[in-house]
Amino acid sequence: MRNWTALVIASLVALAAGAQPTVPDKAFHDPLRGTTPLNEEPRPPLMSPTENSDVIRGRAYAQQPPTIPHKIDGYQLDRNANKCMECHAGSRAAQSGAVPVGISHYTNRAGETLGHLAPRRYFCTQCHVPQADAKPLVANTFTGIEDIRTQAAPQARKK
């Protein structure tokens, strides 16, 4: 019996070693690369045009930085100047009609409120981006905590 078992195992190992890999029926497809082979550079998708409607969009999750509802092409935003603050500074927001910068942007890491924009909040576009009506590159199934609570509440009442 031992010889028979050893012969079967040896046959299976030899068969597996000589088997060729199977090629999938469908071509490889990645949501970001498309069907471009891994050893080639894909063509980047066209950039969506920036919206310039001044309509403020809702936020997708709590603490999300608001998007910029207008074009910012040509804005100077470097260590010497911050074009955004011409309209969004608290002292100018009323006359420009812009949303004033939040108080959190005047607070430093130690929690002290400053009389000027905090250095870590100076470069607006590190958190805020211009709005564009762009198709998502990958699927998103994010659910906010508020939605989870409202879905769970009716089930909790049944128990």
Tell me, yes or no, if the pTM score tops 0.95: no
- β-bridge partners, 30: 34
- Can you say whether the dihedral through the CA atoms of 126, 127, 132, 136 is positive or negative? positive
Q: Spell out the residues 6+ positions from residue 86 whose beta carbon is closer than 8 angstroms to its own.
A: 92, 96
CA 139 to chain CA mean position, Å = 11
Q: Identify the residue with better confidence: 23 or 108.
A: 108
What's the pLDDT band for 76 if we cut at 50, 70, 90?
Answer: very high
> Which pLDDT tens digit goes with each residue over 48-57?
888 888 888 8
Terminal Cα-to-Cα distance of the chain (whole angstroms): 60
Superfamily of domain covering 71-130: Flavocytochrome C3; Chain A (1.10.1130.10)
Whether residue 13 has pLDDT greater than 90: no
How many residues would you count in the chain? 159
Mean pLDDT for all residues in the chain: 82
Q: Which residues of 70-94 are buried (b: 16+ CB within 10 A; e: fewer)?
A: eebeeeebeeeebebbebbbeeeee
Place of tokens 């009389």: 115
Give which of 113, 93, 92, 115 is closest to 104, Cα–Cα. Answer: 113
What's the pLDDT band for 137 if we cut at 50, 70, 90?
Answer: confident
The full set of domain ranges for the chain reads 71-130
In this predicted structure, which of 19-23, 108-112, 117-121, 152-156 has the lowest mean pLDDT? 152-156
**Considering the chain, what percentage of its residues have pLDDT values greater than 90?**
33
Give which of 56, 133, 155 is closest to 99, Cα–Cα. Answer: 56
**Phi-psi label, residue 134: left if phi above 0, alpha if psi -120 to 50, beta otherwise:** beta
Range with top average pLDDT, 22-31, 78-87, 143-152: 78-87
pLDDT in the model for residue 50 = 87
The strand ranges marked E within 43-151 are none
Give which of 127, 123, 129 is closest to 48, Cα–Cα. Answer: 129
